[in-house]
Amino acid sequence: MYKQIIIVRKDLHMSAGKLAAQVSHGSMAFLTTAIRNNLFPRKDYQNEIDCYRAEFDLEKDLVEQWIQSAFTKVVLQAKNKNQLMKAVEMAKELGMKEGEDYFLIKDNCYTELEPEEIDENGVGRTLTCIGFKPMDAEIIDKIGKKFHVFEGEVI
């Protein structure tokens, strides 16, 4: 069985809407990255771009056991940034790669979060969660079993 986990920082006390948005980013990151990396513009008769086409491969098991199946997602909680980064360490120990198997989701801090870092473009950002691509439960549970299901009140 394939499933996807998204691990969210609990210490940020995000509102329900912010939390939902960050978890959504974490869930979609594997797919949006594949799309962004494989875009081809299509031009109309006036040589203007009228749409884009994306072409990429998805693993057979990912399609059959997740996309065409239960689409299982589990949202887990990390107490803080340090605990969240332990998931990254575990992923690396399992041979996973950032930007391929897991994705660090950082909010641009335009609304309710305060920046923890400034990126190369001068934008203040805060790490909110990690989204893992859907994978075999036996593999992802090696990380997921170290975290609790997200619970509690959101603002």
Q: Which two tokens stand for residue 8?
A: 């969210």
How do residues 55-105 score in pLDDT, each as one tens digit? 999 999 999 999 999 999 999 999 999 999 999 999 999 999 999 999 999
Residue 105 main-chain phi, psi, to 5 deg: -100, 120
How do residues 39-50 score in pLDDT, each as one tens digit? 999 999 999 999
pLDDT-based confidence at 152, cuts 50/70/90? confident
What is the pTM assigned to this prediction? 0.93
pLDDT-based confidence at 154, cuts 50/70/90? low
- Give the helix/strand (H/E) hosting 24: helix 16-36
CATH number of 2-149: 3.40.1490.10
